[in-house]
Amino acid sequence: MRSIDDFFDTEFKIFGLNITLFDLFFFTVMTCLGIIIRMSLFDILSGDYKLAFADWMRECHEAGGFAYLGIKPGVSDASTFDYNCMFQYIIVLLHYIGGGVNDMYLVKTVSVIFDFVCAITIFRIAYEVTGQDIKKSMIAYAATMFLPTMILNSGAWAQNDSIYTSFVLLSLLHIMKGKDNRAFIYLALAYSFKQQTIFFVPFVILMWLKNKVKIRYVFWIPVIHVVAMIPAAIAGRSWGDLLGIYGKQVTMFSRLTMNYPSIYTIISNDIGSGMRKIIISVGTVATVMIFGIIAYYIYKKKFEITGRYMITLVIFTALLCCFCLPAMHERYAYLPEVLAIVYAVFSYKRISICASLQVIAMITYSRYLFGSTVLTLWPLSIAMLVTIMIVGYDLFLQMKDTEIIAVTAPIESSETETEAVSG
């Protein structure tokens, strides 16, 4: 064996993991390259940054920092902020630590930091479900750092979907570990950042039905959600205004689909607002009914729930939410797109699912960020439906393979009873 091999194979323990110097070298190189590729996109000015984040940073500077939290959005040009106040705290923090740095770079840096948190958490989830396989976990980490939609979301778009997704992934990890208290704390933090956390809720409900999650810890969600608003309330925002943020967000959008390849791409964009409202209502109720049928089937089916099953179920339910619910943005499938990396390391056969989700998402991202030759979304909707059906079929096979069959012992008649019957 070469001396360099002896050097790279040197083992040591870090954070309780037995890794080699080559593992550490690979981790460091992939991290650095992941940061470099994101920074190379930092000069791209997206529409969202220009029309939203840039204004919020400017408004915060004009308000002097903390005072920005107390201005009611929408009343004047002093505040046009329409996110929950948790991200507004980040805006205020960036105001104080900016030091003359380009505001766009600051906003994107926050998202990049949480990209790293996502990647580390994906590593931990992969390590958990692959039987502590360092090789597969390292590959999952590297793939996350180079996931095209993640790079575009933070480095080019200046969006922050990696923030709430980081907490959702941490919640999933702790559900898999059986630490429900921590799981709901992370879930509450995720919800306090973005309402899209609700795409993870069907999985939580299904795990509760299968007695894998203790629902008593759900109180953390309203508690943390309200506690997170206290700084803004101290600054001057009314509680009614703060508590109604997500309700206002729901009514902000009236289009059936906002660049997401859902079932609604088959409907013309030219229909009237009244008809759109009817379709949105019907579509929402239909989605609840679909999940009701799925919940009934999974609850009645007796099978062993594995870590692999949990990963597959999160991807399936989150994709189904985005496909069936109206008014979905192209970014809303961020969670299943990231988690599909863990799904892929189970088996090379599943890489196609991860790849198909990335191709579909990259096309829709490009339509917004750079312009695209793809003019219609309905072919992508078909591709997405096929992808969901394949994941759903895999879910069914996993339930079938680990099915628990109740064995009933035969009732043996006594000798006397047998004779009585014979007589």
- Residue 24, both tokens: 């550490």
Residue 347 has a pLDDT of 79
**For residues 303 and 403, what is the distance between their CA atoms, to the nearest angstrom?**
4
Res 1 pLDDT > 70: no
Residue 415 has a pLDDT of 47
Per the domain annotation, does 212 fall within a domain?
A: yes
Same domain assignment for residues 195 and 327: no
Q: Is 285 exposed, middle or buried (0-12, 13-18, 19+ CB in 10 A)?
A: exposed
Residue 406 has a pLDDT of 61
The predicted-structure confidence for 263-282, as pLDDT tens digits, reads as follows 999 998 788 888 999 999 99
Per the domain annotation, does 382 fall within a domain?
A: yes
Specify the pairing of strand 11-14 against strand 17-20: antiparallel
The pTM (predicted TM-score) of the whole model is 0.93
The predicted-structure confidence for 200-232, as pLDDT tens digits, reads as follows 999 999 999 999 999 999 999 999 999 999 999
In 23-91, the DSSP E strands lie at: none
Per the domain annotation, does 421 fall within a domain?
A: no
Same domain assignment for residues 131 and 219: yes
**For residues 277 and 259, what is the distance between their CA atoms, to the nearest angstrom?**
18
Residue 151 has a pLDDT of 97
Same domain assignment for residues 164 and 307: no
Domain that holds residue 274: 253-401
Taking each helix axis from N to C terminus, what angle separates 134-145 and 334-346, rounded to the nearest 10 degrees? 150
In the chain, % of residues over pLDDT 90: 80
**For residues 167 and 173, what is the distance between their CA atoms, to the nearest angstrom?**
10
The predicted-structure confidence for 73-102, as pLDDT tens digits, reads as follows 989 899 999 999 999 999 999 999 988 899
In the chain, % of residues over pLDDT 70: 96
Per the domain annotation, does 374 fall within a domain?
A: yes
**For residues 160 and 363, what is the distance between their CA atoms, to the nearest angstrom?**
19
Residue 396 burial (CB count, 10 A): 14
Same domain assignment for residues 211 and 263: no
Res 262 pLDDT > 90: yes
Same domain assignment for residues 315 and 217: no
More confident residue, 324 or 420: 324
**For residues 345 and 207, what is the distance between their CA atoms, to the nearest angstrom?**
23
Same domain assignment for residues 219 and 359: no
Res 408 pLDDT > 90: no
- Residue 289, both tokens: 């009914």
Same domain assignment for residues 16 and 49: yes
Per the domain annotation, does 203 fall within a domain?
A: yes
- Residue 54, both tokens: 């840039």
Same domain assignment for residues 17 and 139: yes
Residue 208 has a pLDDT of 97
Residue 385 burial (CB count, 10 A): 15
**For residues 55 and 80, what is the distance between their CA atoms, to the nearest angstrom?**
8
State the chain's mean pLDDT as an integer.
91
Q: Identify whether the C-beta of residue 180 lies closer than 8 Å to the C-beta of residue 214.
A: yes
Residue linked to tokens 């099953």: 309
Residue 237 has a pLDDT of 93
Residue 375 has a pLDDT of 85
SS3 breakdown of the chain: % helix, strand, coil, rounded to 5? 70, 5, 25
Domain boundary, last residue among 249, 284, 310: 249
More confident residue, 324 or 131: 324
Q: Identify whether the C-beta of residue 81 lies closer than 8 Å to the C-beta of residue 73.
A: yes
Domain boundary, last residue among 231, 249, 267: 249
Task: Give the distance from CA 264 to its chain's centroid.
Answer: 22
Calculate mean pLDDT across residues 128-133: 90
Q: How many residues does the chain have?
A: 423
**For residues 398 and 275, what is the distance between their CA atoms, to the nearest angstrom?**
41
How many domains does the chain divide into? Answer: 2
Per the domain annotation, does 411 fall within a domain?
A: no
Residues 6+ apart with CB under 8 A from 221: 184, 187, 188, 191
Residue 327 one-letter amino acid: A
Same domain assignment for residues 199 and 309: no
Distances from the Cα of 33 to the Cαs of 72, 144, 341, in angstroms? 41, 12, 18
Taking each helix axis from N to C terminus, what angle separates 103-129 and 334-346, rounded to the nearest 10 degrees? 30
